[in-house]
Amino acid sequence: MTLKRAFPDRPWGQFLSDDGDSVMLEFYNNPKVSVPDYQAVDPLLVHIAFTTDDVHNTRARLLAAGATAVGEVTVTDSGDMLMMLRDPWGLPIQFIRRKQPMI
């Protein structure tokens, strides 16, 4: 993901685009609405998922940057390696290396 635009002041918007510039994610804080209690939400109910070639290094880098771990790195029966983190606001984010890529 590439940071395309960022606002240093409220609403602190961050616009991220994928490598092909075909998907954009927007994150911001709307002062009219309180931030949901993402810590109370089971990460299997809602999360943002990204692929990565190196699950362990991605995990270490993001933990050092302020993310918190949700369990350990796991390997599914189908051979996918994944891990779940929470960003500083508690939003669950999954990183996965698929044995058979989906895209």
Please report, for the domain that includes residue 77, its CATH number.
3.10.180.10
**Does residue 1 register a pLDDT over 90?**
no
* 39 belongs to a structural domain: no
Task: Let me know whether 92 and 57 are in one domain.
Answer: yes
Task: Let me know whether 57 and 13 are in one domain.
Answer: no
What percent of the chain is modeled with pLDDT above 70? 100
What distances in angstroms separate CA 15 from CA 18, 27, 51, 64, 84, one per listed residue?
Answer: 10, 7, 19, 22, 22
**What confidence score (pLDDT) does residue 89 get?**
84
* 37 belongs to a structural domain: no
* 36 belongs to a structural domain: no
Distance of CA 75 to the CA centre of its chain: 18
> E-assigned strands of 1-103?
2-6, 14-17, 24-27, 48-51, 68-75, 81-86, 92-97
Identify the band that residue 101 occupies on the pLDDT scale cut at 50, 70 and 90.
confident
- Count up the domains in the chain and report the number: 2
* 38 belongs to a structural domain: no
**Does residue 12 register a pLDDT over 90?**
no
**What confidence score (pLDDT) does residue 28 get?**
84
Domain that holds residue 96: 44-103
- 15-59 pLDDT, tens per residue? 999 888 888 989 888 888 888 898 999 999 999 999 999 999 999
**Does residue 103 register a pLDDT over 80?**
no
pTM (two decimals): 0.77
DSSP state of 36: P
